[in-house]
Structure formats: structure tokens, C-alpha cells
Amino acid sequence: MSTAPDGSVIRRDAPRPDLIAFEIKDRITKPDIEWMSSITDAAMTAHGKIDMLLIMSNYEGSDLGARFDGYASGVMARSVAHIRKYVVVGAPMVARAMITLSGAVLPVETKTFDLSDEAAAWAYLAEAGPATG
């Protein structure tokens, strides 16, 4: 496990290298989003296809600088071609709607779980097997 520079995001241990998991514990700052983007970028480069799990245990939004970070936006745009499954646990209702809509229009399989169902999210990704293959 490692922690973002401002401490609001933790990289969670995952059972396979092509699964990137983050827990968001607070408000996301620009250094946090750059840290998450660099990890995601490296995983996409190393594995081609990856799965991503976000656990929003205490998400409190993001700073304006985090939302409009150039590097993070570039990684996000490229991720559409590299992320197979995008799973979010504990997303607020507005975010859930956006995630579901994104899954309908992008070639990324999306799924949301309640915070109390984190174990089910991990099981769903384990059952899916490696993203690369």
C-alpha cells in the first residue's frame, strides 16, 4: 500500500498487477490526481489492458486544479483504450449515474457497488480474471 502526496488517496494492494485499486479517503488535490495518473499510466504501458477499482470510503470532491490537470486529463483520455473494467465502490448517486452513462457510450465495462459491498466488487474483479490475456 502507498499513499498519495496529500494523503487523501491510498493505493490498495491488488491480487494481480493489471488491477489498479485506489481508496479515496478525502478531497482529491492536484498532487493526488497526478500521483494516481502516473500509477495508471505506468500500468497501461506495462500491461496494455488493465482493470481499475476505486473505493470511495469518504470522498469529499476534488479541488479545481485536480479536475483540470493536463497530465491527468491526457491519461484519462488514453485510458478509454486501456481500461477493460472500471469498478467504483461507494460512489455518490450523481457519480453513479455518470459512471453508468459512461459505460453505455464508451468501450469500458463499468460497474458500481455500495460501500458495504466492497467484498463483492473484489470478487467480481477476481472472477473476471486478468485484463491482459
Q: Among 121, 104, 108, which residue's Cα sits nearest to residue 79?
A: 108
Q: How is residue 57 written as a grid cell?
A: 470510503
Of residues 33 and 21, the one with the higher pLDDT is 21
Tell me the pLDDT band of 114, cut-offs 50, 70 and 90: very high
Alpha helices by DSSP H, 7-88: 30-47, 64-67, 70-79
- Measured CA to CA in angstroms, residue 83 lies from 5, 31, 93, 109, 123 at distances of 24, 22, 23, 8, 18
Q: In what order do the strands lie in the sheet with 9-12?
A: 2-3, 9-12, 19-24, 50-56, 83-89, 109-113
Alpha helices (H) along 1-133: 30-47, 64-67, 70-79, 93-105, 118-128
Q: How far apart are CA 57 and CA 60, in angstroms?
A: 10
What confidence tens digit (pLDDT) does each residue in 58-93 have? 776 666 555 555 666 666 766 777 889 989 998 877
Question: For the domain with range 2-116, which CATH number is right: 3.30.750.24, 1.10.3720.10, 3.40.50.10860, 3.40.50.300?
Answer: 3.30.750.24
CB 51 within 8 A of CB 85: yes
pLDDT band at 94 (very low <50, low <70, confident <90, very high): low
